[in-house]
């Protein structure tokens, strides 16, 4: 889609790609944090969720695709292919997701964010609260059962039929999805770390941002033309305020407890 940027500009078209939970909310939070710094060094985006907050084969196929093979990340000023599933670390998300293990996964944030925010590194990591499902998916990847489109489709179909039963294992009282963005850089010569996060059910996190973006464009609050990521053109504060009105919870501290 980004290759259509020049054509869209010539046609006077505004096309914003990837306005959902992640990418989408993560990109706008990265923009909000970056705008507060004089110099941005690293942007680390991440997501975590309960498996029972996901519904449908499309989600299953997307997850299998994101954790298979070599995936692009933006490291030290250039796009670099790294193994999906590498870089394991524990990150705290807003409750009820909490602290979970995440790892590098294939996603658009490292592709689009460096186009619009000058920085050294942009990464994306994700993970499930349900660790047994993570191990199961990792086993499928190691067995090379997800390395072609056809294999993913077959495995995804089987997995999706089993998922309703697997999700009942340790189902939480409130299934939830969340994201977190850590931005580091310099402000007035001092190293600064800004953290933002968001949480809600996945359907709201995925659908509402696209709706809000359409509203902002329709109201003339997005003047840029071309094909671009949300961090390039959406006004962060108004975007966030409208999502908060619809029930998405935002946070602004490392412990993911202080409301934004």
Domain extents in the chain = 20-201
Give per-residue pLDDT as tens, 133-182.
666 666 777 767 677 888 778 777 776 676 666 666 656 667 899 999 99
20-201 CATH: 3.30.360.10
Res 142: pLDDT: 74
- Whether the per-residue pLDDT at 59 is higher than 90: the answer is no
Task: Retrieve residue 35's tokens.
Answer: 């705008």
Cα angle at 47 between 74 and 195, to 5 degrees? 75
Residues in the chain: 260
d(CA 74, CA 27): 14
Total-model pTM: 0.88
Under DSSP, is residue 247 helix (H, G, I), strand (E, B) or coil? coil
pLDDT in the model for residue 41: 98
How does DSSP assign 88-137, residue by residue?
-EEEE-STTT-EEEEEE---SHHHHHHHHS--SEEEEEEEES-HHHHHHH
pLDDT for the residue numbered 173: 65
């Amino acid at each position: 889609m980004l290759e259509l940027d020049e054509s869209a500009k010539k046609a006077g078209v505004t096309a914003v790609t990837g306005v959902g939970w992640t990418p989408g909310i993560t990109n706008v939070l990265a923009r909000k944090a970056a705008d507060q710094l004089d110099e941005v060094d690293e942007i680390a985006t991440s997501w975590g969720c309960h498996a029972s907050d996901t519904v449908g084969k499309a989600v299953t196929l997307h997850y299998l695709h994101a954790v298979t093979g070599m995936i692009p990340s933006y490291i030290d000023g250039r796009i670099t292919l790294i193994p999906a599933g590498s870089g394991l670390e524990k990150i705290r998300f807003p409750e009820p997701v909490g602290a979970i293990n995440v790892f590098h996964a294939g996603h658009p944030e490292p592709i689009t964010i460096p186009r619009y925010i000058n920085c050294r590194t942009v990464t994306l990591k994700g993970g499930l609260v349900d660790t047994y499902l993570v191990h199961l998916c990792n086993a499928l990847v190691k067995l090379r059962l997800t390395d072609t489109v056809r294999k993913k489709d077959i495995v995804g179909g089987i997995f999706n039929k089993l998922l309703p039963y697997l999700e009942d294992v340790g189902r939480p009282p409130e299934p939830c999805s969340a994201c977190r963005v850590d931005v580091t850089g310099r402000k007035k010569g001092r190293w600064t770390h800004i953290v933002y996060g968001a949480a809600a059910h996945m359907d709201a996190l995925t659908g509402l941002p696209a709706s809000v973006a359409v509203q902002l464009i329709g109201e003339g609050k997005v003047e840029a033309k071309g094909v671009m990521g949300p961090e390039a053109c959406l006004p962060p504060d108004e975007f966030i305020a409208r999502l908060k009105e619809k029930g998405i919870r935002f946070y602004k501290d490392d412990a993911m407890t202080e409301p934004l």
